[in-house]
């Protein structure tokens, strides 16, 4: 039997009816009337209820906006029972477009990171060669996946590199409450042909990445040595923790190396220790210069 959980929203006229599993494939639907709802036999049935104004279907829920002729307390249980009965009898929630490409099965699993606010979702195929970080939805022009992830209210930052996606959350939710939802969404998004990254648009998102060949050749010898050390010895270690480190600058006068911490490394409580006891000591030793200091621009 289908299990439905009724949840209130910030709008008192809208109620959510949540399923245990996802009911749509990376799509959201909004129906204002029965004629618009031809793609959803369930929504069409709901519109026979005189108080139903709008039906939203997305992710693992159906949200219904009511007219003011009733209160939700009087009808919500009956609506939940109607949805449950419809689905259990084999009713179609959303008609599937048979012309769409078949799924390309992948596996996605979550890994903890040293940053308690960040989780690393590892995908069973390569996603990109370019590390990209998004601090908000306005920066996500190059990543439809990141754009969709920011629609989850608890997602604070998204970082994508190689075969993984690091998600940093706000404190409003614990990981045990949201990990399955995020993992399932990422898996379904990729399997159904969603674009993780549009490589042609990544350049604007990685304008601070000075490890590109054209910029590398213009740097002084010490800066080049620092970049090579970071690339060879540091990046693989921080990537394993769902993060990235990018060279920003080197000041020859005060021997200060500035780096950018991304993904799970950004804001991590242990990042200061990593910088001072790990990276700084490594650079001092390998460059034979005890005066070198390392600072993070966004640790």
The secondary element (H helix, E strand) that includes residue 216 is: helix 213-216
Q: What is the pLDDT of residues 93-120, one digit of tens each?
A: 988 764 454 566 889 999 888 889 999 9
4-89 is a CATH 3.30.1370.70 domain: yes
Residue 22 has pLDDT above 60, yes or no: yes
Q: How confident is the model at residue 207 (pLDDT cuts 50, 70, 90)?
A: very low
Q: Which residues does residue 183 pair with via DSSP β-bridges, in sequence order?
A: none
Distance of CA 122 to the CA centre of its chain: 12
Residue 48 has pLDDT above 90, yes or no: yes
> Which of 8, 40, 35, 6 is closest to 23 using CA atoms?
40
Q: Is the pTM of this model over 0.75?
A: no
Q: What is the pLDDT of residues 119-163, one digit of tens each?
A: 999 998 888 878 888 999 999 998 999 999 999 999 999 999 889
Q: How confident is the model at residue 178 (pLDDT cuts 50, 70, 90)?
A: very high
Q: What percent of the chain has pLDDT over 90?
A: 44
Residue 211 has pLDDT above 50, yes or no: no
Highest mean pLDDT among 6-20, 77-91, 284-298 belongs to 77-91
Residue 240 has pLDDT above 80, yes or no: no
Q: How confident is the model at residue 218 (pLDDT cuts 50, 70, 90)?
A: confident
User: Per-domain residue ranges for the chain?
Assistant: 4-89, 108-192, 212-298
**What CATH code would you report for 108-192?**
3.30.1370.70
Q: What percent of the chain has pLDDT over 70?
A: 89
212-298 is a CATH 3.30.300.130 domain: yes
Question: Does 108-192 match 4-89 at the fold level?
Answer: yes
What is the DSSP track for 190-213? HHTT--S--GGGHHHHTTT-TTSH
The mean pLDDT value for 201-220 works out to 60
More confident site: 100 or 262? 262
Q: What is the pLDDT of residue 101?
A: 45
More confident site: 83 or 274? 83
The mean pLDDT value for 57-63 works out to 88
Residue 283 has pLDDT above 60, yes or no: yes
Q: How far is CA 272 from CA 9, 111, 197, 276, 277, in A?
A: 39, 22, 30, 6, 8
């Amino acid at each position: 039997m289908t299990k439905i959980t009724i949840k209130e929203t910030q709008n008192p006229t809208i109620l959510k009816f949540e399923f245990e599993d996802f009911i749509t494939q990376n799509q959201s639907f909004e129906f204002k009337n029965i004629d618009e709802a031809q793609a959803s036999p369930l929504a069409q049935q709901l519109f026979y209820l005189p108080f139903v104004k709008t039906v939203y279907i997305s992710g693992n829920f159906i949200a219904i906006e009511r007219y003011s002729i009733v209160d939700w307390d009087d009808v919500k249980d009956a609506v939940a029972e109607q949805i449950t009965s419809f689905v259990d009898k084999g009713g179609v929630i959303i008609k599937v477009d048979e012309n769409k490409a078949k799924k390309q099965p992948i596996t996605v699993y979550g890994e903890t990171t040293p940053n308690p606010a960040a989780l690393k979702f590892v995908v069973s195929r390569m996603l990109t060669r370019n590390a990209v970080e998004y601090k908000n939805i306005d920066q996500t022009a190059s990543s439809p996946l990141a754009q969709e992830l920011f629609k989850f209210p608890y997602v604070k930052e998204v970082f994508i590199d190689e075969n993984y996606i690091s998600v940093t959350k706000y404190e409003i939710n614990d990981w045990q409450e949201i990990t399955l939802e995020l993992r399932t969404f990422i898996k379904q998004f990729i399997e159904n042909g969603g674009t993780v990254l549009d490589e042609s648009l990544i350049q604007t998102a990685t304008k601070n990445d000075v490890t590109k060949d054209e910029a590398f050749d213009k740097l002084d010898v010490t800066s080049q040595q620092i970049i090579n050390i970071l690339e060879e010895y540091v990046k693989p270690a921080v990537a394993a923790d769902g993060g990235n480190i990018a060279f920003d600058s080197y000041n020859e006068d005060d021997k200060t190396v500035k780096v950018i911490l991304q993904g799970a490394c950004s804001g991590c409580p242990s990042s200061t220790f990593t910088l001072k006891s790990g990276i700084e000591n490594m650079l001092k030793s390998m460059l034979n210069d005890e005066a070198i200091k390392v600072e993070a621009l966004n640790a």
